[in-house]
Chains A and B, each alone.
Chain A
């Protein structure tokens, strides 16, 4: 048993603050000669009052989905990211405030807007004992960019033209054009994870440099990770074992937490999390930043939604605040295209065009559009398995009815719903929530004219396309934030999509015997690496 002393913990806190650099200051440091940045553990929660962190012990996490493969380059499944985040590490990573900090890279330089030179951390080993070098970085990205791999990440790194090894601990990325999204992708657990050169079968036998080593996996039962004794961060991870137990059913998950069969989980319904922590004060529920939005996708390719007045009328007929209050019990915010955790994300209070709830104005607009007696919009398709979506849809149905707009609810199984959505074959209205993506641009891509989803929705707006492209190539964070806000207003103005609310993907909740943990808006449990058990 290793007892960390108070002084070390406090010291690390200060270092953590120094390291929690915003992207801009990191950039500045990089430009001013590649100063060494020490990636020290960020004990954001442990400010000393909980006592000194204790090493050892097992953390049992209740998970709601099995991973579908563990090779970060190849998997497309969302559920795998959480596991990949603890097994692998990337050149950069997100801290709890959603700022980028160094991970396997210690610093980088930008000779120009299209070139990044990373200095790599030395002495890092993969779980199989292999040394981590620039060759692995090159291998990882060459593999992503090779069309034969069919990696979904190729689109993310589409601006990368070459990755070259300068020396064993220096690697150079050359980009086709300035790309503000590049570093964000590198910092994201599954998108930027570095895989070891020459190792096969990562899908089932993952090998990374992360804080935990893959132990065993019994599908539907449990997934076990063991501490990586050679992890580069001094003294981390503190836990010796992390066990994920799978509970597909939300009620079972919350009952399991209550009965302490698990120490920690995340829940889909904020009301459950709130009620649970109210009845058991030893449960900690920290929602974290919002990372997900609940939109209504309209089929713009045909009447009546090819008429902007009908879309605006629907937006005016929607009482977003009431949805936040009733469905989320207030623990969310009114949503726009970008959740608050993104550069230029909407905070839920600023003005957005056609956001004011006004059924009378909606009726007037409908009358102008040729529907003086109201309109029947037919089927509104929602994800049957998602209770929050179904609940919100029922409230929306009532709100719209007040403005003379009739819809018929159609909860659908997930598989056919995704099919309708991605191929643009839904009749009029469909809702599927948009989860956090590493970069704001990925969210805007859903509405770009010639993209897969742009075509599915039926958006055709050259001005919007240009605005989105310009924003991605704006590497100055503040300027980019302003551009992103403009794009969101433009989308709301034309009501290409109706965003209702934004919320964290999951409401994380854990027993207070687990310390040093923080939820991350990036939808992965990265801070299991700093968590410890206080018995």
Chain B
């Protein structure tokens, strides 16, 4: 959970300040384009399933029945869980909760990270120090202590989970933004804009922000991937969205008790988690190459 979260925060930070070597390009189309298209197709597939989940799902995902842990059959393609609910329906509808929390939380973290990162990087000095050290405190904090604190204090609801995850990812986002801003603000055209008396806000919006868009887009899709980890990990620890709405992490955690007896109940949500994460990773890699993020300096 926290490991992957923090890793990339660092990587992006360090990588952003280091030129990345260009991959060999011998194919008629670049590897980045292939990845990008693949990622978009996967994303579209996920979006369609998520949006039309109630129509696609063969059963009400919360409907219990006496036939618990049934093997896959024509009626229940992926079998049933421990209290007789249709696993396939839960898988389809479970994506909704998982992806909703993921996308909103990352959007919030992005917004907060953007503001803090711009402020920190552009203003610099004591403001930079204070913001970065406060973020360091959050960053150093075990993720799930934070999560338990929020969930225990405010109750396990979807908005609270979103808040928790947004808090957890804000430092990483701020770091991603701050790095390029630091270098961009030294650039000639920024200096020039300032010398002709352009307001600081306009400089930031017109000249600084466009320069950090590429790394942010990449970091966002990577963070989306990690957020899926975090949300499923929290559900795994019993801190996820409340029942009866299904979610992948919760399904995985519930099914573990029966996994040697009904392996599919574990493999199905695990597969969904991997697919969703893979989607965002493929997107991130495609974007990174197409946008040539490494060369931002």
Which residues of A line the B interface, CB within 8 A?
250-251, 254-255, 258, 269, 271-272, 275-276, 279, 325-327, 329, 384-385, 387, 390-391, 393-395, 397-398, 409-413, 415-416
Contact = CB atoms under 8 A, between A and B. Distances in A.
Contacts of B239: 384
Interface in B223-260: 238-239, 242-244, 254, 256-260
Interface residues of B, number: 27
Contacts of A385: 238
B243 A387 contact: no
Given A326-B84, A394-B64, A394-B83, A410 B257 contact: no
Nearest to B67: A326
B257 A251 contact: yes
Interface string B146-163: 001001100110000000
B151 A413 contact: yes
B83 A275 contact: no
A251 B253 CA distance: 9
B244 A412 contact: no
B41 to A, nearest CB: 36
A291 B145 CA distance: 35
B152 A393 contact: no
Interface string B49-92: 00000000000001111101100000000000011100000000
Nearest to A417: B152
A271 B155 contact: no
B100 interface: no
A395 B259 CA distance: 22
B261 interface: yes
Given A271-B82, A391-B83, A413 B152 contact: yes
A279 B261 contact: yes
A410 B260 CA distance: 30
13 contacts: A250-B257, A269-B82, A271-B69, A275-B69, A325-B66, A394-B244, A395-B64, A397-B244, A410-B242, A411-B156, A412-B152, A415-B152, A416-B152
Given A269-B257, A271-B69, A398-B64, A411 B83 contact: no
A275 B261 contact: yes
A384 B156 contact: yes
Given A254-B257, A411-B243, 7 more contacts: A279-B261, A326-B66, A329-B68, A390-B243, A394-B64, A411-B156, A412-B156
B84 A411 contact: no
A271 B68 contact: yes
Contacts of B83: 326-327, 391, 394-395
A391 B64 CA distance: 10
Contacts of A258: 260
Contacts of B84: 326
B238 A275 contact: no
A384 B244 contact: no
Nearest to A399: B64
A413 B243 CA distance: 14
B238 A398 contact: no
A326 B65 CA distance: 7
Contacts of A398: 62-64
Contacts of A272: 257-258
Contact of B64 (A326, A384, A413): A326
A71 B104 CA distance: 51
A410 B156 contact: yes
Contacts of A393: 243
A325 B84 CA distance: 11
Given A326-B83, A411-B238, A255 B260 contact: yes
Interface string B171-197: 000000000000000000000000000
B82 A391 contact: yes
A410 B151 CA distance: 11
Interface in B256-294: 256-261
Contacts of A416: 152
Nearest to A276: B261
A135 B156 CA distance: 53
A411 B242 CA distance: 6
B238 A384 contact: yes
A219 to B, nearest CB: 20
Contacts of B243: 390, 393-394, 409, 411
A250 B63 CA distance: 25
Given A250-B257, A397-B244, A412 B155 contact: yes
Contacts of B148: 413
Given A251-B256, A251-B259, A254-B257, A409 B62 contact: no
Nearest to A397: B244
A271 B64 CA distance: 15
Nearest to A383: B238
A62 to B, nearest CB: 14
Contacts of A254: 257
Contacts of A390: 243
A406 to B, nearest CB: 13
The 4 A-B pairs at the shortest CB distance, nearest first, are namely A251-B256, A251-B257, A413-B152, A394-B244
Nearest to B82: A271
Given A391-B82, A412-B155, A416-B152, A326 B242 contact: no
Nearest to A393: B243
Contacts of B69: 271, 275
A357 B82 CA distance: 24
A379 to B, nearest CB: 8
Contacts of A275: 69, 258, 261
Nearest to B63: A398
Contacts of B242: 409-411
Contacts of A329: 68
A46 to B, nearest CB: 31
Contacts of B155: 410, 412
A387 B257 contact: yes
Nearest to A250: B257
Interface in B121-167: 148, 151-152, 155-156
Contacts of A271: 68-69, 82, 258
Contacts of B151: 413
Question: In this complex, which of A276, A325, A390, A411 has the most chain B Cβ atoms within 10 angstroms of its Cβ?
Answer: A411
A390 B240 CA distance: 13
Contacts of A415: 152
A265 to B, nearest CB: 13
A390 B62 CA distance: 13
A203 B256 CA distance: 36
